[in-house]
Amino acid sequence: MASIDLDKMLDKAWADKSLPEILAAPAAALKGVSDRDGELLQEAFGVKTVADLADLKYARWAQALAALDTSAK
């Protein structure tokens, strides 16, 4: 089973929460995403939660394009 360091990905208040709680958390729970950034994500894309951000088709498209770029490696 894979593991990740949640302290590097989440604000301190969220690092000890369960995965379902994290996925239901506001996007601003992610380290580096401010409350204002979260508001802008909601206004622009309807993203309210970490799960919404993970499901954002534009982010998935960008990840797929980056994965295809073998010259970046």
- Give pLDDT tens digits for 26-64: 999 999 999 999 999 999 999 999 999 999 999 999 999
Domain locations in the chain as residue ranges:
19-72
pLDDT tens figures, 6-22: 899 999 999 999 999 99
* Alpha-carbon span 3 to 47, nearest angstrom: 25
Alpha carbon distances (Å) from 29 to 10, 43, 55, 56, 69: 6, 17, 16, 16, 30
pTM: 0.85
